[in-house]
Every structure is written in C-alpha cells, then in structure tokens.
Amino acid sequence: MSPQRLAWQLWLPEFVLLAMLWGSSFLFMREGAREFGPAATAWVRVTSAALMLTPLLLWRGEFKAFTQSWKQTFFAGLFNAGVPFIFYAYALSHISTGLSSILNATTPLFGALIAWLWLGDKLNASRILGLAIGFGGVVLLAWHAPSGVSLDANATGAAILACLGATFCYGIAGSLIKRYLSKVSTMVTTTGSLWGCTVLLAPFAFAAWPQQLPSLHAWGAMLISGSLCTALAYVLYFRLIAKTDPAHAMTVTYLIPVFANLIGIVWLDEIFTPWMMAGGAVILLGTALASGLVGRGANGSVR
C-alpha cells in the first residue's frame, strides 16, 4: 500500500466525523434554542465545551500559556464563538437547519475579504472572482427564501442576516487570531476563547434565562452541542490540521451542509429545494475560489 493511500485512509474517517458533528450542531442548537433562547443557548454551549476542554489543556501542560494570553483569547472568543452562537440560535428559531448550514459556508468568503482589508492579504483574479460568485449565491438565497424552509416568514430576512453576521464574526476572528495569537497553540486559543465567552456571556444569559425550566430534551441537546459538536469537534479539527494541513482541513466546510440537510430532512421533516441546491452550489464554488482551494497557485499549477 502506498504512503499516500495510507495517509488518505488515516485522516478521512476523522474528516467525515468532523463534518457530521458540525453538521448536526444546527439540529442540537435549534432544539435547545426553542426553550433556552439565543443568549442562554450560546452560554450553555460554550460553557460545557470549555469544561470539557480544560482537563485536556491541563494534561497537555499548556496552562501557563493559557494564563499568559487569556486577555487576547477571551476577546477573540466573542467573535469566534460567543456572538456567532447567539446569531445562529436566533436564526435557527426562524429558518431551517439546512438553509442555515448553507449560509454557514460563507465563512471563508468573509475570512478572505477581511484578511484582505485588515491584514493586506493579496487577492488574485481567481479569489476576487470567487468573492463575487460566493456573495452572488448569497443574494440568490436571500432574494427569494425557498419555500418550506421558513419557520417564521416574518423573520426570515432577519434570520438570514443573523447567519451572515455569524460568518462575518468568524471572518474577523480568523484575522484577529492570525495577527495577535499566531504564536499561541490552537488548544490554548480555543479553550481561552470558550472561557472568555462563558464569562462575558453570563450576564446576558442569566438576564434572558427562561422563566420555565428547560426540559431534559433541551438540556440534552445543548450538552451534546457543547461536548461533542464543539469540544470534540475542535480536537478533531486540530488533529486534521496536524495530519494534513489547514487548507485541506478547511474543506470540511463543503461537507457540513450535506450532513446538516440530511439530518434536517430525516429528523425534522425539512425540505431541501432545487433553489437551495443551486444557491448552495454557487456559494460553495465561490468559497472554493476565494479561499484559494481551487485555482492556480504561484507556480501556475492547479491545486
């Protein structure tokens, strides 16, 4: 068996598992948000994830690095998890998990745009074309929300904007981490970000805490979202980067909507329309170009 074949077999199962975990997170957040509300949903998710990752951080001997960079990681957490999770919790109360997951695929688009504006990253013709195509796909979805994917027609537009606000925050977080936390390990950055969200979101979560105690179903959904879809998913993501590289690991973005839509159709009786398929395909094409995963590298070869 060739080394390349062996390497492919080693990372592919974790790649698919990561896509499944992040794809299922939309289902669990939706189930939790129905009873917790957006702020409390985000807080329970980040808190449970922080509690799960902290022992691993200590086992790796990175507590000192955590204490040295806690201010930066706490601030990054607002954009990397806190605000986006609130936005998604709100959006999932009004539109389907499938549509939300497709819009989530715009994360690399905002990442490339913000890195260009803030960090001065170069955009070649292929990446500029990708930005235009990707945002064109967003317009296709937002211009006419597909029938059967809206839980609340009056709030569909706001829900779509909330999803885009979340991915915009992810884009800011990427550049922020690259500029100020590039020398800090990913485990420290992630754990610090989650603890930052836990502390900073606590007043808002408790102020908006539901008067009626959420059911065991809602608690279970949120604990799964935090422990598996957040903490375990990040660990898998770090392992994928180590086994392959960041560019290959990032391609998990393209597989997430597949699992999210399948889960939504099977468990929630959601509808996946041809319009969603067309808009999603355009967004994914634009994202692939804008992120540099498709196009010509500096040596002229297609990668």
pLDDT reported for residue 149: 63
pLDDT reported for residue 4: 46
pLDDT reported for residue 178: 86
- Dihedral angle sign, alpha carbons of residues 195, 98, 135, 132: positive
Q: Which residues of the chain have pLDDT under 70?
A: 1-9, 144-154, 245-248, 293-303
Which alpha helices (DSSP H) does 144-273 contain, by range?
156-180, 186-207, 216-226, 233-243, 246-250, 252-268
Contact (Cβ atoms closer than 8 angstroms) between residue 289 and residue 295: yes
Residue 215 has φ and ψ, to the nearest 5°, of: -75, 165
Exposure string (b/e) for 93-120, b if CB count within 10 Å is 16 or more?
Answer: bbbbbbbbbbbbbbbbbbbbbbbbeeee
pLDDT reported for residue 298: 37
pLDDT reported for residue 151: 63
Residue 48: name the closest of 170, 198, 199, 236 by CA: 198
Q: Where are the domains of the chain?
A: 3-290
CA 161: distance to chain centroid? 15
Residue type, 151: L
pLDDT reported for residue 5: 46
Coil vs helix vs strand at 264: helix
Q: Give the C-alpha distances (Å, rounded to integers) separating 177 from 108, 171, 196.
A: 15, 10, 14
Classify residue 275 as exposed, middle or buried by CB count within 10 Å of its CB (0-12, 13-18, 19+).
Answer: middle
